[in-house]
Structure 1
């Protein structure tokens, strides 16, 4: 796509753009006025007589990626998951962390992921950070450095991740203090160290109550990895919802994955969704990673996509996002921190179409609200002119191609959309440049 001739300074009209309406599937044809890096006016198409034209192409707000793992990213070449399973991923990451995760190594891979996301048009990211003390302190230092360095380009939030039993005792308090010190979100997985999401661990309810107390005492939001398997016995989501209701939890609470929910009996599904809605919980689905890991058996075609009940949750009024999750690490061998790919994949995997409705909001407005970012995720007067422009004129055209010719505007000016070269990481991941 040839970039419109965006003025180097001053205000201008961006003419003949299609922007999401209500529902988001509806595209309104408008002229956008850009002044001082913000959207100053939205007028009916044809109101402006000068300025660059999109020729009816789509303009979306820059994306919000609300569930990633930037500290793990891009280790696949040196630590592949040889069988593609969840347990294989755990083992590979644990070994790689012990062997390689210096601050220099983490910083370089983390920054590489940010560079990819920025080039593709993402303006805000929430990343989970492996927080196993004492090593987790160095990871959070790197996070804080990069959050400051990328301020104004990517709004970055950090979330702890560790097995829930790591939150017990003095170590749990120290971990929660570390999160609070960095303005982060308290997170964990609903399994014990060394185990999988196969059943509810013994003593889980007491530990969960303790985790809520840690968050409440520090005024922290929570973001949990929940029931990431096909085991219906791993039904911790209802317990989480009931705990939030009983404690009248006042902060934001998001859960991710909840893969096993889709395999529960209908009565359990309906009761669980009612609890989730009552508790005010938001849900993020990771369709690419879940489809990659779940129901994987050697030499057998998977029978199940591993994705949670997006249609049913949304129909019940539960806010739902989709996100990129892992990229080029043992939990997902592929990905490029590209929210266009995430949305396209989610639509195809979970049949979020006919009608498309408001599903595009799952990568813009909904995750922006989860992250507490009122100026992200929408195109309206007064917000930053952070836009992704496409030659595609219709959602069908948008969903049919990879959109490699997109243009990204930050503060109303085009940026370089060239992703970083994988060769930048050769020395870290052990690829011989020769």
Structure 2
């Protein structure tokens, strides 16, 4: 056979005509029309459904997933109480505990089409238990998912005993990315030092940077500009991500647009996390309550790359969730007023191509001949319908191998005048 798999009659994002997609030896061999099904060992009829490159979760905390209620629930719903609860839970972590929960959650994400995950790992632990566990997980899941690990100082680099030494040790053990949390340091000066130290480590280990930055409603929290300045001074353009940036929601417009210009010049990436941002921020407001999420729509309009993360999944910060990046994208659509037709189409980029740019995996990502055959088939004909329906991901392939499959549910309604119940499709009228 010429091809291992042929996906026939597929719809691609922003493409008008249907195409056939042929896979051979784990790569996209041909993408075109009227490919010969007789030449394929396996044929999947897409019937006009959307084929997408895999979803990307650009920001999650796999060490904390599935710990909600342990040892207690977050009664105030605040970021700070979540950190306190995690501090209580962290003392009982074991390698087996972290691995068991992380592996289960990764299976959830893969089943829903996410094949690339960047996880922050709390390294404010003298034993680095969570990191040691996730380093093992990273190797164990390579057949179904690519995992990047960020050395994340949850309690601060300079506000935690031996914080700098633990960060260095985390990089020596094999972390992929250097993290930071300047706004959570005790003072502004320590926050600035946090940023400078992150760049020092990144240069030493030749690693990219992804910092939790300005995750607060405080409009005076302005460490993202320090990151942008260091990025340009250190010539680290395109290699730096600032995650959350929720304070940007509260900046005055003059400063916000100045900052966007700096981010563009530094070629920085911004990761928004809709579930956590809208739940954790605005907790000290009466009315009107701030949404908290950063200015996604305006950042995109100003040429800044923005991607999305799920962030928390059933943990002290966000008690719900199931690792569905399409649901995260839909929520961002609502929160960021991106409901125009073209804007809705753009939202899919936040969990696909924009995420690939932030994770710097563009060389091996996307539906292009010669690239790894990583893709999913959704039970929807377009990005618009996918974001409306959050449909099942019928098939998920990595390297040309089927790694997940979902059988969709079917609803039926029967009126009094009908002998048999009729299927409900939730599709618009023709």
Instruction: State the TM-score bracket (shorter-chain normalisation).
Output: 0.7 to 0.9
TM-score, scaled to structure 2: 0.86
Which residue does 1:425 correspond to in 2?
none
Which residue does 1:3 correspond to in 2?
none
1:241-320 equivalences under 5 Å are 241-249=228-236, 252-297=239-284, 303-320=289-306
Which residue does 1:429 correspond to in 2?
none
Which residue does 1:160 correspond to in 2?
151
- Note closer, same or farther for the CA distance 1:207–1:34 as it changes in structure 2 (3 Å cut): closer
The answer to whether the aligner puts 1:29 opposite 2:22 as a matched pair is no
Q: CA deviation at 1:377?
A: 4.0
Which residue does 2:9 correspond to in 1?
16
Which residue does 2:29 correspond to in 1?
40
Q: CA deviation at 1:190?
A: 1.5
- Give the whole-Å Cα distance in 2 for the aligned partners of 1:102 and 1:140: 11
Summarize deviations over 1:338-388 as a string: whole Å, max 9, x none: 112122222222122312343322111222222222355411111222221
Q: CA deviation at 1:313?
A: 1.1
Kindly indicate whether the alpha-carbon contact (under 8 Å) linking 1:74 and 1:327 is maintained by their aligned counterparts in 2: yes
- Give the whole-Å Cα distance in 1 for the aligned partners of 2:287 and 2:27: 50
What SS does the aligned partner of 1:366 have?
helix
1:1-400 equivalences under 5 Å are 11-21=4-14, 26-44=15-33, 46-48=34-36, 51-78=43-70, 79-98=72-91, 100-136=92-128, 138-162=129-153, 163-166=155-158, 171-192=163-184, 201-249=188-236, 252-297=239-284, 303-354=289-340, 355-356=342-343, 357-400=345-388
Which residue does 1:423 correspond to in 2?
none
- Give the whole-Å Cα distance in 2 for the aligned partners of 1:405 and 1:67: 21
Kindly indicate whether the alpha-carbon contact (under 8 Å) linking 1:167 and 1:173 is maintained by their aligned counterparts in 2: no
- Give the whole-Å Cα distance in 2 for the aligned partners of 1:416 and 1:12: 15
What SS does the aligned partner of 1:11 have?
strand
- Note closer, same or farther for the CA distance 1:418–1:16 as it changes in structure 2 (3 Å cut): closer
Kindly indicate whether the alpha-carbon contact (under 8 Å) linking 1:74 and 1:328 is maintained by their aligned counterparts in 2: yes
Q: CA deviation at 1:241?
A: 1.1
Which ranges in structure 1 are unaligned for 5 or more consecutive residues?
A: 1-6, 420-434
Q: CA deviation at 1:243?
A: 2.2
- Give the whole-Å Cα distance in 1 for the aligned partners of 2:16 and 2:271: 25
- Give the whole-Å Cα distance in 1 for the aligned partners of 2:190 and 2:327: 40
- Note closer, same or farther for the CA distance 1:150–1:271 as it changes in structure 2 (3 Å cut): same
Q: CA deviation at 1:116?
A: 0.9
- Note closer, same or farther for the CA distance 1:407–1:301 as it changes in structure 2 (3 Å cut): farther
- Note closer, same or farther for the CA distance 1:377–1:347 as it changes in structure 2 (3 Å cut): farther
- Note closer, same or farther for the CA distance 1:266–1:178 as it changes in structure 2 (3 Å cut): same
- Give the whole-Å Cα distance in 2 for the aligned partners of 1:370 and 1:167: 28
- Note closer, same or farther for the CA distance 1:263–1:105 as it changes in structure 2 (3 Å cut): same
Q: CA deviation at 1:35?
A: 1.6
What SS does the aligned partner of 1:39 have?
strand
- Give the whole-Å Cα distance in 1 for the aligned partners of 2:267 and 2:301: 14
One of 377, 391, 402 as aligned partner of 1:403 = 391
- Note closer, same or farther for the CA distance 1:250–1:168 as it changes in structure 2 (3 Å cut): farther
Structure with the bigger RCO (C-alpha within 8 Å, sep 6+) is: 1
- Note closer, same or farther for the CA distance 1:223–1:204 as it changes in structure 2 (3 Å cut): same
What SS does the aligned partner of 1:31 have?
strand
Structure 1 residues 167-176 or 384-393, which shifts more?
A: 167-176
Kindly indicate whether the alpha-carbon contact (under 8 Å) linking 2:151 and 2:170 is maintained by their aligned counterparts in 1: no
- Note closer, same or farther for the CA distance 1:418–1:304 as it changes in structure 2 (3 Å cut): same
Kindly indicate whether the alpha-carbon contact (under 8 Å) linking 2:111 and 2:405 is maintained by their aligned counterparts in 1: yes
Q: CA deviation at 1:114?
A: 1.1
Which ranges in structure 2 are unaligned for 5 or more consecutive residues?
A: 408-430
Which residue does 1:424 correspond to in 2?
none
Kindly indicate whether the alpha-carbon contact (under 8 Å) linking 1:176 and 1:186 is maintained by their aligned counterparts in 2: no
Q: CA deviation at 1:252?
A: 1.0
TM-score, scaled to structure 1: 0.85
Summarize deviations over 1:62-87 as a string: whole Å, max 9, x none: 11111110000010133321221111
